[in-house]
Structure 1
Amino acid sequence: MSLAQLHYTSERPGPDGSGFRRTAVTPGVPESLLREAEQLIGYEPPPEAPDPTGTTGTTGTTGTTGTTGTTAAESAPLPTAFSHSVLADGSRLLARTVYTGAGHGGGPGNVRAHAHAVHVPVDAPLSAGATPISAWDSPQWALGAPEGGSPAPLAELPVARGFDRRDLVSFAADRAGCLAEFFAGLRVPDRQIILVERDSADVARWIALASTVLPRAAAHRLTFTTYTRRPRLARQRIVGVLPDDAQDLDRHDPRSLVLDRRGDGGAAPGPRPAHGTEPPAPDAWALTAARVWLGRAPELFAEAVELPGERFAAGPLAALALCTGISPGTHGRGEAALWACERAHTRALEAAGRLPRFLTGLCAPAEDRTPAETAALAGLFAALDGRVPAAVTAPLGALVLTEALRTPDAGIGLGVPRPASLPDDLRRRLAAELAGELRAGVAGSAGSAGSADGTDGADGDGPPVTRAVELLRLAEPLGVDCADLLPDLARRLSHALIADPERAWTPAVAAALEDHFDLRSALLSALDALAAADPPAAVRLLGLVPLSPRGVQTLPHLRMCARVHDSGIPVGGAAGDTDRVAAMNEVVRAAGVSTFADPLVLRTAVRLVWEGGTPSAGEARLLLAGTGSDAHRAAGTWSALMAAALDGPGDALREPPAGHRAAPSTPYAATASPAVSDTTSSDTTARYRADAPDLAHDLLRCFPQELSARQRGALLLLEFAGKLRERAADTGWTERALRLRAGAEPVEPAVLDTAFEALARGLLSEERPDGEVYALVHCGDPELLAAYDRAAREDRVRERLRTVPAHVADCFTMWSSLPGANPAWDRTRTALLATVLRPVVRALSAEDTEAVERCLRATASSRAEEFRAWKRPGALGRLGLRFGGRGRTEGGRP
């Protein structure tokens, strides 16, 4: 290896100005490299640089000239700028710049300095693989330029004894408060570390600490300078400054870490976390590295490199520290446990005979153990159980059990020791010690080993029930009997699962149900009862957790919910989505219990299929016919049938609840379009008006004792609508309809619309009883007249008027009768004559017009004359109708 030498010395001012002058260079060094080196080796003395005049100097300038020299003893009080830098071509420059005395002419800041540098080629190591900082006090460094101006290249740079172990250990102990932060800063790429020290030798000691903890390659590439007056302009990774030059540093700049021991000896505050964000997690490797140095065992860093693991992994280093008797703290112990979970890592410890010492170190008493560490210990025990002799792992198993009980948030998951993992005497001792706490925790007692954050359980009076399940699993390997606590635990767990399945279904709960048949049976029974109370919640639960009700238990309600989930039946789906009666029958069959044996099965089925709504009138008739009134009466579902009759077709137009639509591949997939069209609404209303009267008849017959007077009146009104539709009603239609409405007040809009529509259509028919129009006119009921107006405007009436002259004559007779009887009738009849009848009459042929007049003459000769006068255009026709028909009736049919 050939290391070129470079010498620079401050000279007196000349034609080119003042500054460092190249005084000796090994031949062959490129000019570009020399110019780059000149930017790195300048020396700016501190303000307290000695002044030949006897005064303290001020801030000096780089490169003053001079010719006088001093001894090393004279220059010792001022800092040494020892630097290691990477050049543009990847090669490195190792340089030492020292103060050599007062400059030519004296005066404040007028100093002399000498820089001696060696150029290290790319990838070339120093002597015997030494790190750059080991050359800090090499005897090769010169205080002046050699004679001749062309020094020969060095074969190697001899290193001195450097900082011995005792010196660095003492230095680390003195800087204990800053160690972890310093080591953590080394891990952040491109983050500059600024060290504020009064002695540049202490900066060199910091760098020596860094070179020890870093991997060998990283230590060789670490750039640094032990002294500069301008740290923000420095290109090196680690920069040393004097306290006076640290006044204006930004301590919160995330690009740099400032470690300042002034005052209390602690580090300067680091970057503040952004508002609303959590502080950064502790650096386990940095904390462990600090404890290793404080434990006086720096040799462990080299040993850790030989163990499997990633760069800067805390696990291997912490494991070695534990083997040596050094506690790496909770973060280090947790990382060591996680690292040792890997089989290859455990074998590395076993091969070196370190595993027993490692486990002993892990299990040593500690006051700072955290839930994360306990979880890591549980994972390690699970990994070692069965692979390592029980005598070796028994202390770890005992620690895991104890800490899992007393550390509620450990999240031990599945890492629970097997009974065979613990020697009998240890198991008996632990059972006697922990039985009371375990049983209290399983019982959910407030103040027991519950959640550290105080979160209430399902009943709001204790720790979460999932914690109780974890403790039940801990009780098993110790033989602590908790059988009497299982029913209440199952009850609390069932409520938690129904309320929030994703939160309550933890790995510990799943494992406990797999291991404890009695707990599983009690839980399923409790869930079956809750499914009867809230079937949709049970369907949601079964869709989120792998809990099957199939088995020897009779769980009718839970089985029905499972059937709904498995078959894709939409819970509360709209009427157009599926044959809901068939779906309900399928759900009832899945229960495995007759609705007569357990009427609540029928209630659950109805709630599953019609949750949040009601059956249509047609569906209600099928349900009543298929199941019988007794089952509906016992289940309380007869009220749903009543709602189907009285509430109208609203449910058929309702979208199913969010999240409950069936998948398109299921036999119950939705086929209706997302938007309900006007045609769909009209068709559904028509189906309701066709089915509701028959349903009302059935309900009056099946539930005479359950109906209130108002409900009975509404059903009678619907039943009467059916008789009107079938023309089976006795005379006195209008009077009876109004009387039934009065007994049903406040009557449902759907019921009233259905009854009045049937009555209005009957009144528009030629088969109506005599005197019904007279009753309509004189009742003056606005709702009935409005229904009559709507019915007269239906397409079916217009079509009949265009094709049946007798119907034209009948409507003319009705709508021209009794003018002035009351304002409501006048408004209705004149509107119908003008907007319904007149357009039809104008379009009639002469033959059809003559047929209309013949029909009118058959009732009364004056009717034909009034018709001819009315159909004449203009005001004369309107006046003829207005006065010609006054007081007339419809020829014997008032």
Structure 2
Amino acid sequence: MSTAEAHYTSSGPTGAPGFQIAGASPGLRPALLRRIERLLSHAPPPAPPPRPDDPDPRADVPAALSHTRLDSDTTVLTHTVHVGRDHADVYGAYHAHAVVLWGESTSPTLPIDTWGSSAWRTGARGTGPVRGHGTPGRPAAETGGLPCADGAPSPERLTAFTRRHRGRVAAVLTDVLHALGEDGETARQVVLVGSGTEVAHWIALACHSLPFDLAALLTFTTGTRRPDLAPHHVIGVTCGSAFVDAATGDRYRVHHPRTGAEPATEPGAEPATELLTWAVAAAALWEAGRGDLLHATLAAAPRDPGVSLSRRARDLGGALACAALAEGVELPASTAPDAVSWCRARVGEHPRAWWAALLTALTAGGPPRPEAAHDLATALERRFDSALTTPLVTAALEGLPELLVEEPDNADLREALRWSRDRLGSVREDRPLRCAREALQRALTRDGTPVHVLLELFRLSDLLLQPHLQEEHAARLLVPWLLEDGAGRAAVARLLGEPGQARSRSAVLRALDTRAREEPGPVLDLVARDAPAWLLDPPPPPLRALRAVQRLAAARRGAGPARGAGAADTDLAELALVTDTLDPGGEPDGASLRLALRIAWAGRAPDTGRAARTLRAHPRPEVAEAASSLVVEAVRPHRRITALADLLMDHYLDLFPPRHRPVVELVALTGRLRDVGRGAGTDRVVRRHLDLLLSRAGRGPLGEDAARAVVERVLDPDGFAADDRVFALEFAEFAALATPELAAAYTRRARAELPPVLRGDHRMCAAHAWLWWARSGSPAWEAVRGPLLDQVLAPSLRALRPARRRDAYALIGAVAPDTAEQVRSWMEDGTPGRGRPRGFGTVLRRVSPGPVRARRDRSAPAPGSRTRPRSGPGR
């Protein structure tokens, strides 16, 4: 490296106005001097000193040191200081000393180390004392090297500075390295707010935390008049500078001075970037007073020109983290990945004691990634014994369960799980596994875990968890997979068939026995279709329900489907088989008989034949209760449900529980409304049906079917043909009790089904006119009666021939003269008002329609006559 010097000052002895170069080394070209001159401007003090005779104004305006790169081979190191008043007694004069460097540096001194050096000049060569300064010019530095570093911050001062700014150092170092960018190109400039001395300490701390070649690339200025034009990586500005408020986050990273140890929130700045492991480890080493270890680690780091800066930063971070952890310096858990990645390839470079200290410290702050721990342990076990890697085994077990749930498709995690499960034998103490047990418990209690991850966790839990916890998880998580028809059933069955899962297998058998007592259908399906070998073995005697399911499935497989007369014998034989299994050697009690019925009927649709055969063979309350439960718990209406309800109501009314009677009676009445013709007393059937329908028994799908049945009953046109008086009575009960839902359902069906029936039939028109006009009822029926008259009846009456329309009025008048007149007035004159008939008679199906009259001439209406309204009264 070669050097040259130049001096730029406003205090020269020539008296020439303006700033000027007072001296320069031979060989400096004018073009280069002009470029250097642009770098040497400096901000003067804001005001003269308090006393005109103040001998040293530099106390208020400290020196500024800058390191600027002009091109790939040329850098300029400048030192600027105020010298008070010049020879013309002008306040604010300064002197700038520049050292131009060419080529690669061969000096062990970094540019920042020249801060405070005694070799920097404060006046031009050969000049006398500067007025107001009182100090003669010092000699220039020797050509061929940097100024001596006799004023650079010492490691002790850097350690004290780091402790004073605890919590900020890692963020500043991270931004400084990011500012270097790839290949030395600036990404975002770092702005350090503070005095020149404080900024110099920040820069010295960053440079001495980097390898020499990277530190030499860092450009900086501890103070400048125009920070917005500064081309440096690091820029120092004073507090209160307007530039700080204008600095934007897309170009600058601004760090403000503060007090205290908590991270500062910088106004207008972006959130801090993720801290680099190198920065965190370097800050921790400086705070611990281990600058020597930091320098030794950096010196040992290889320099590969082909490695990117980001990769080199990761390697430096891993090296510093490992060095710090091995020496007992605490680091956060975020540094573990880079540390593990770095040391995995350097197993042979350190002794066993160093590795033991590192692994203990590495896992103390938090578990590393299990895959990385597995790889490092595998590498270490090739050279050392397996006891060394015990901390890695426990750390992997602590992080594995939750990671498996979050990343179910990660094959490396499953491989790490198998490795850690095989290595559990090397863990001699129980205390290190406590965190692993807690993590496994949390993972097992999470919902939505894929079945293959669940099985891996169960194999681990058999080794880690206490027996009662293992059994609890087996019964809660594995049984649902067994009872569902899918791929998970076979996988869980294979797991429970493994020799090491005896405890879980016993817990699952007990849970299946409980399920067989409460809901035997899925258990019977499991045993009959996809039963694993361990489930076909005879269960322990206390598990009688599960044994009964097994025997019933075996009997059905051997007997095949029963047909014809043999069905009765098969049903009774199955019930006897299950009953004898549940309660061998005697008459079964009520509880056993109820459970036997549930097991024997599980998986089959209830039908009246099976219920009748069972009830005749065992006419007991338990059997009747089981049969009525099938009706109450039906999920949809079916003819077999209706038949079973009829059987219970007709023959076993006193045997099944009273709480089931409303639903059973409603189902039976629904069937009768659909199948029984009209006759004496059927209006009371409709009333009772509506009462049950409007009670709690009318909820659910059975209630919906009952509502459809009653609407069909009172809307059926064939009801007039059978018995019009009874039909009218039934309709009266419906109208009196109709709810908004029933009225709406009746209206929908009437609009869809009645117009074709009423069209051209004067008797049907007369009957519905009398029913709808004269029959008052609930508020819901009153709300829909008008639209029915206007939209269904009126169009049908208008469509009749005039003679047939008169016949319809005559039929209505034979029973209710007032109603006939009101209907006629409504249809012909639009007169509103409806009245109820004074008596209750038959619909005039039997009344003679009278003689057929000649068709009227439909000529145009006479002038002044009123036209017939198009629909309902008042329209």
The reply to whether TM is greater than 0.5 is yes
- CA contact 1:694–1:722 (8 Å) conserved in 2: no
Q: Distance in 1 between matches of 2:126 and 2:56?
A: 34
Aligned position for 2:736:
782
Q: Relative to structure 1, is the Cα distance of residues 292 and 634 closer, same or farther in structure 2, using a 3 angstrom cutoff?
A: farther
Amino acid at match of 1:798: P
Amino acid at match of 1:192: V
Amino acid at match of 1:382: H
- CA contact 1:98–1:115 (8 Å) conserved in 2: yes
Q: Distance in 2 between matches of 1:420 and 1:789?
A: 72
Q: Relative to structure 1, is the Cα distance of residues 717 and 15 closer, same or farther in structure 2, using a 3 angstrom cutoff?
A: farther
- CA contact 1:87–1:93 (8 Å) conserved in 2: yes
Q: Distance in 1 between matches of 2:154 and 2:194?
A: 18
Q: Distance in 2 between matches of 1:884 and 1:320?
A: 104
Aligned position for 1:490:
474
Amino acid at match of 1:331: P
Q: Distance in 2 between matches of 1:37 and 1:512?
A: 84
Residue 175 of structure 2 is aligned to residue 175 of structure 1: no
- CA contact 1:84–1:132 (8 Å) conserved in 2: yes
Question: C-alpha deviations, 1:300-335, integer Å up to 9, x for none?
Answer: 112234599823325432366259x63342338x73
- CA contact 2:297–2:319 (8 Å) conserved in 1: yes
Q: Distance in 1 between matches of 2:825 and 2:82?
A: 128
Deviation at 1:355, TM superposition (A): 5.3
Aligned position for 1:256:
254
Q: Distance in 2 between matches of 1:211 and 1:877?
A: 104
Deviation at 1:222, TM superposition (A): 1.3
Aligned position for 1:192:
190
- CA contact 2:398–2:439 (8 Å) conserved in 1: no
Deviation at 1:769, TM superposition (A): 3.3
* One of 326, 330, 344 as aligned partner of 1:346: 344
- CA contact 1:819–1:882 (8 Å) conserved in 2: yes
Residue 64 of structure 2 is aligned to residue 81 of structure 1: yes
Q: Relative to structure 1, is the Cα distance of residues 486 and 226 closer, same or farther in structure 2, using a 3 angstrom cutoff?
A: closer
Residue 674 of structure 2 is aligned to residue 722 of structure 1: yes
Residue 642 of structure 2 is aligned to residue 642 of structure 1: no
Residue 297 of structure 2 is aligned to residue 300 of structure 1: yes
Residue 87 of structure 2 is aligned to residue 104 of structure 1: yes
Q: How does 1:404-483 map to 2 (within 5 A)?
A: 414=416, 427=426, 431=428, 433-434=429-430, 450=438, 473=460, 476=463
Deviation at 1:219, TM superposition (A): 1.4
Q: Distance in 2 between matches of 1:415 and 1:723?
A: 67
Aligned position for 2:756:
799
Amino acid at match of 2:68: S
Deviation at 1:697, TM superposition (A): 3.8
Aligned position for 2:588:
none
Residue 285 of structure 2 is aligned to residue 288 of structure 1: no
3-state SS, counterpart of residue 7 of structure 1: strand
Q: Distance in 1 between matches of 2:601 and 2:31?
A: 94
Q: How does 1:798-877 map to 2 (within 5 A)?
A: 798-802=755-759, 808-809=762-763, 812=766, 839-840=795-796, 842-844=798-800, 849=804
* One of 358, 361, 369 as aligned partner of 2:357: 361
Deviation at 1:84, TM superposition (A): 0.6
Q: Relative to structure 1, is the Cα distance of residues 699 and 330 closer, same or farther in structure 2, using a 3 angstrom cutoff?
A: farther
Question: C-alpha deviations, 1:178-220, integer Å up to 9, x for none?
Answer: 477345413213353548578x5x8666544432322444312
Q: Distance in 2 between matches of 1:486 and 1:817?
A: 72
Q: Relative to structure 1, is the Cα distance of residues 319 and 757 closer, same or farther in structure 2, using a 3 angstrom cutoff?
A: closer
Deviation at 1:85, TM superposition (A): 1.9
Q: How does 1:540-559 map to 2 (within 5 A)?
A: 551-554=532-535
Q: Distance in 2 between matches of 1:130 and 1:235?
A: 23
Q: TM-score, normalised by structure 1?
A: 0.57
- CA contact 2:10–2:19 (8 Å) conserved in 1: yes
Deviation at 1:128, TM superposition (A): 5.4
Aligned position for 2:217:
221
- CA contact 1:114–1:144 (8 Å) conserved in 2: yes
Question: C-alpha deviations, 1:18-38, integer Å up to 9, x for none?
Answer: 445554475663548615633
Aligned position for 1:8:
8
Deviation at 1:712, TM superposition (A): 4.3
Q: Distance in 2 between matches of 1:157 and 1:534?
A: 96
Q: How does 1:557-572 map to 2 (within 5 A)?
A: none
Question: C-alpha deviations, 1:814-837, integer Å up to 9, x for none?
Answer: 856999898999999999888756
- CA contact 2:686–2:733 (8 Å) conserved in 1: no
Amino acid at match of 1:95: T
Amino acid at match of 2:8: Y
Q: How does 1:145-156 map to 2 (within 5 A)?
A: 145=124
Residue 318 of structure 2 is aligned to residue 316 of structure 1: yes
Q: TM-score, normalised by structure 2?
A: 0.58
Question: Percent identity among equivalent residues?
Answer: 18
Aligned position for 2:144:
157
Deviation at 1:157, TM superposition (A): 3.5
Q: Relative to structure 1, is the Cα distance of residues 399 and 602 closer, same or farther in structure 2, using a 3 angstrom cutoff?
A: farther
Deviation at 1:359, TM superposition (A): 0.7
Stretches of structure 1 that go unaligned for 5 or more consecutive residues are 61-77, 261-265, 443-448, 460-465, 499-509, 539-548, 557-593, 610-619, 650-687
Q: Relative to structure 1, is the Cα distance of residues 363 and 624 closer, same or farther in structure 2, using a 3 angstrom cutoff?
A: same
Q: Distance in 2 between matches of 1:819 and 1:363?
A: 95
Q: Relative to structure 1, is the Cα distance of residues 717 and 129 closer, same or farther in structure 2, using a 3 angstrom cutoff?
A: same
- CA contact 1:7–1:24 (8 Å) conserved in 2: yes
3-state SS, counterpart of residue 311 of structure 1: helix
Q: Distance in 2 between matches of 1:179 and 1:878?
A: 96
Aligned position for 1:210:
206
Q: How does 1:734-749 map to 2 (within 5 A)?
A: 734-738=683-687, 741=690, 746=695, 748=698
Deviation at 1:8, TM superposition (A): 1.2
Aligned position for 1:53:
53
Q: Relative to structure 1, is the Cα distance of residues 283 and 383 closer, same or farther in structure 2, using a 3 angstrom cutoff?
A: same
Amino acid at match of 2:95: H
Q: How does 1:63-78 map to 2 (within 5 A)?
A: none
Deviation at 1:530, TM superposition (A): 9.4
3-state SS, counterpart of residue 706 of structure 1: coil
Q: Distance in 2 between matches of 1:813 and 1:405?
A: 84
- CA contact 1:408–1:450 (8 Å) conserved in 2: no
Q: Relative to structure 1, is the Cα distance of residues 836 and 145 closer, same or farther in structure 2, using a 3 angstrom cutoff?
A: closer
Q: Distance in 2 between matches of 1:892 and 1:737?
A: 23
Deviation at 1:389, TM superposition (A): 3.8
Q: Distance in 1 between matches of 2:777 and 2:199?
A: 108
Deviation at 1:223, TM superposition (A): 1.9
- CA contact 2:170–2:275 (8 Å) conserved in 1: no
Amino acid at match of 2:254: S
Aligned position for 2:98:
117
Amino acid at match of 2:37: A
- CA contact 1:734–1:775 (8 Å) conserved in 2: yes
Deviation at 1:126, TM superposition (A): 3.1
Residue 116 of structure 2 is aligned to residue 126 of structure 1: no
Deviation at 1:46, TM superposition (A): 9.9
Aligned position for 2:505:
521
Q: Relative to structure 1, is the Cα distance of residues 21 and 642 closer, same or farther in structure 2, using a 3 angstrom cutoff?
A: same
Q: Relative to structure 1, is the Cα distance of residues 625 and 518 closer, same or farther in structure 2, using a 3 angstrom cutoff?
A: same
Q: Distance in 1 between matches of 2:477 and 2:6?
A: 79
Aligned position for 1:327:
328
Amino acid at match of 1:317: A
Deviation at 1:288, TM superposition (A): 1.9
Q: Relative to structure 1, is the Cα distance of residues 601 and 85 closer, same or farther in structure 2, using a 3 angstrom cutoff?
A: farther
Aligned position for 1:263:
none
